[in-house]
A and B are shown apart, each in its own frame.
Chain A
Amino acid sequence: MRPDASELGDARRRVEALLRELPVSSGDRAFDQPWELRAFAVAVAAYHAGQYEWSEFQLSLSDSIRRWEDGDGREPWSYYEHWLEALETVLAGNGVLSDASLDERSRTTLATPRNTGHHEAHRKPVAIDPARCIV
Chain B
Amino acid sequence: MTVTTRTQEEIAARVKALESLMIEKGIMTTDAVDRLAEIYENEVGPQLGASVVARAWTDPEFKARLLEDGTKACAELGIGGLQGEDIVAVENTDTVHHVIVCTLCSCYPWPLLGLPPNWYKDPAYRARAVREPRAMLRDDFGVEIPDSKEIQVWDSSSEMRYWVIPQRQAGTEALDNEQLAALVSRDAMIGVGLVSAP
Residues of A within 8 A of B (CB): 1-3, 8, 11-12, 15, 30-42, 44-46, 48-49, 51, 74-76, 78, 81, 84-85, 87-88, 91, 96-97, 101-102, 105-106, 108-110, 114-115, 117-123, 125-134
Contact = CB atoms under 8 A, between A and B. Distances in A.
Interface stretch (B30-38, B59-67, B70-78, B167-175): B30-38
B115 interface: yes
Nearest to A123: B160
A129 B14 CA distance: 42
A-B CB proximity, top 10 nearest: A105-B17, A41-B36, A35-B12, A125-B152, A115-B158, A132-B147, A127-B153, A1-B119, A129-B151, A126-B155
Interface of B: 1, 3-4, 8-22, 25, 27-28, 32-41, 43-44, 81, 83-84, 95, 98, 101, 103-105, 107, 110, 114-115, 117-119, 122, 124-125, 129-134, 140, 147-155, 157-160
Contact of A88 (B1, B36, B131, B153): B1
A37 B37 contact: yes
A60 to B, nearest CB: 12
A3 B104 CA distance: 22
B124 A1 contact: yes
Nearest to A68: B3
Contacts of A76: 4
Given A45-B28, A115-B157, A121-B159, A84 B4 contact: no
